Structure 1
């Protein structure tokens, strides 16, 4: 049997803690498993590395010499893994305004856990970008067709109404969801979360003004071509002098999800999904 990294990690942990119990807790193994691993290492080397009594663990002279080599090997391995990890990147696709502080907390947790980095990539249609392998994970609002991609629900966002400062609605203190269909509605047909599909037949807006991305949507509302409805994150993050955000009552929330392709979901994507759900 050759010496394995688990042997070195077990030996170094016991020496550092001077305790099998504490070393086992650090390595997330049982104490009997840790004891067997150290014994295997001693059998392979055919030397006594540790002397154990009912009260303490003592390192032998040979064990002390071996400790320095083992620590150096593990340290150099850690440096090598960090160097490689820094070159790994997960590409997160989004269409507009990643929510805060979720995005920052997710990226930090993922990068701390993996050593890899998160690159955010704005795409008008992040789901299409996902299927052409332009991004690794897509951040999706609403209920678009994911084309067979796997999904993870993160949270729901409240909606807010958006009107031009020149609109007759600009002085309103709030609007109700049932009022929205009575006004021309500006709809982002690619990644928007509110459109004529949001109301049953017979309750839809009389006039729909379409666009294909968030910037166009915002400018169209500012030009008073119609009103818009968007997740409330836009009210915190958009600084446009031509629009006013108005609280909206009775509106259903917007589901927020991550989408990824199962066939290409390696460890890096799984780590990101774990970080994303933990930050939600």
Structure 2
């Protein structure tokens, strides 16, 4: 990812972010990858692999006859002894490594990258005939995330935090919180067939992995939030609310879009 990526892997909170995201998203991702069929012996590319949980799952299913390459622009949080190969790689500036691939997966990656449609097209070109591309991103652009809160002030604070994050801070660093809704059309434009999109959402209560992301976001983009007018007391309150079960927020919409190369 670019240097302006909002959630830098060098940040002290990055490891916790990867753990929380794996807890939130892995079950859905594994369902979708399982629907791709038997992965035994396949060549799989996990692009923007983060903490490596999906690459580890793919390696277990591809088996010794397969090959899983896990790439990231900063792969420091991926173990190197989990059955997959780790490589530093920048999707925005470097060719797709080692094509062709039987399966390529990228989760919470393209929404953060300028030129995402072009990158998706290059990923599609990196598939073997019959190969599968699975792109998963959050559509986070919608307001109205608070389902319950301790009081009206807490509700307004969380809504303001969400609004500033998705309308100002993330776009300022090249992200598009609405991109997930365009991935299906982008796959069709790239010539993929059998394109399907499944969408999942739920509720996150304070203390669960999804709500705890609020505290991680405050830790990682607190300076940006302060620059938009948040006080230190408000940021402390957001961190507290992330662990308060009386706060319940709607999750982001996870768009999981899959297509196959002819």
TM-score, normalisation: structure 2: 0.29
* Bigger Rg over Cα: 1
TM-score, normalisation: structure 1: 0.27
